[in-house]
Amino acid sequence: MSSKIALGIDIGGTGIKAAPVKLKNGKFQEDRYRIPTPKPATPDAVATTVARCIQHFDPPVGTPIGVAFPGVIQQGIARTAANLGDEWIGQDVRALVRERSGHDVQIMNDADAAGMGEHRYGAAQGRDGVILMTTLGTGIGSALIADGQLVANTEFGHTMIDGEIAEYWAAESARSRLDLDWDGWIVNLQRFYSEMERLLWPDLIIVGGGVSKSHHMFLPHLNLKAPIIPAELRNGAGIVGAAAWASSASKREEKNAKAANKKAAKKSQ
């Protein structure tokens, strides 16, 4: 794998997917590799599966590796994991995967990864202004990007609307759980996205997640101020965004470490 490649891994509710990504255009360099998400999805079992995905591609040491995680991540530590299980909370996911795989990795929220992927290579490529990315799946993930800068860990799917968490009735999973037809689901989506507009005034809204394949069934029926468009990278957005993020985060970490060393050396003179 050359230095122009980074490995992206996406931890989803049903599958853990990985692919090496060409950083110049966001395309996969090799076919995606997928392993079903272990049940139960304990930190131990998931970290071992992520390590198997890494081993499958056997990247040279130093290849940036990004892992998209379905919960809030601060400095590699999981703070929430609504759809994985409470034992994740407080887990140092970065250290766990590093220990299992022998590679350093960068961990980020899955919707943040998808949003970065769409901004860098997809539906929002090169767009300024406020972009709201939402992923409709088991839960609702969100990413907020303002003039190209990500505000990490927004959890707009957990907005309380009428006393209920939005993702409970507006995620893709709500369609079967609540036995909603398209029209019923559209009513719920309208409530969710109207609330987002009331609070955030985005210039563009992007909708990802598996159901975005059927965007013509629901997007044209939403009445919003901002354009609302389907994601372009579809299910690959998490992988691509995590890879791109890992590449910039590794560079940033290196730069910060150099600056800190320089400062320490100056102090000791």
Query: Closer to ligand BGC at the Cβ: 49 or 109?
Result: 109
Q: Does 235 help bind ligand BGC (rule: CB under 6 A)?
A: no
Query: Closer to ligand BGC at the Cβ: 26 or 157?
Result: 157
Residue 139: other Cβ atoms inside 10 A: 27
Give dist(CA 20, CA 97) in Å, integer: 17
Q: Does 172 help bind ligand BGC (rule: CB under 6 A)?
A: no
> Which pair of tokens denotes residue 255?
């730069």
- Identify the three-state secondary structure at position 40: coil
Binding residue (CB under 6 A) for ligand BGC from 82, 152, 224, 229:
82
Question: At closest approach, how far in Å is the CB of 82 from ligand BGC?
Answer: 4
Strands 164-165 and 204-208 turn out to be: unpaired
- Identify the three-state secondary structure at position 165: strand
Q: Does 20 help bind ligand BGC (rule: CB under 6 A)?
A: no
Site for ligand BGC in 138-167 (CB under 6 A): 139, 141, 155, 157-158, 167
Give dist(CA 245, CA 226) in Å, integer: 27
Q: Judged by CB under 6 A, which stretch of 70-78, 95-103, 121-129, 255-263 contacts ligand BGC? A: 70-78
Q: Applying CB under 6 A, what is the total number of residues that bind ligand BGC?
A: 17
Query: Closer to ligand BGC at the Cβ: 59 or 238?
Result: 238
Q: Does 70 help bind ligand BGC (rule: CB under 6 A)?
A: yes
Site for ligand BGC in 85-114 (CB under 6 A): 109-111
Question: At closest approach, how far in Å is the CB of 266 from ligand BGC?
Answer: 41
Question: At closest approach, how far in Å is the CB of 186 from ligand BGC?
Answer: 20
Q: Judged by CB under 6 A, which stretch of 44-52, 77-85, 91-99, 123-131 contacts ligand BGC? A: 77-85
Query: Closer to ligand BGC at the Cβ: 40 or 102?
Result: 40
Q: Which of 148, 85, 107 is nearest to 245 (CA)?
A: 107
Q: Which of 161, 151, 217 is nearest to 194 (CA)?
A: 161
Q: Which of 219, 201, 199, 200 is nearest to 209 (CA)?
A: 219
Give dist(CA 21, CA 67) in Å, integer: 13
Q: Judged by CB under 6 A, which stretch of 41-49, 65-73, 124-132, 225-233 contacts ligand BGC? A: 65-73
Torsion, Cα of 139, 50, 21, 110 (10° steps): 20
Q: Does 135 help bind ligand BGC (rule: CB under 6 A)?
A: yes
Residues in CB range of 210: below 8 A, 6 or more apart: 137, 172, 234, 235
- Identify the three-state secondary structure at position 247: helix
Query: Closer to ligand BGC at the Cβ: 118 or 167?
Result: 167
| Residue in the block written with tokens 């210039």 | 203
Residue numbers of the site for ligand BGC (CB under 6 A)?
A: 70-72, 80, 82-83, 109-111, 135, 137, 139, 141, 155, 157-158, 167
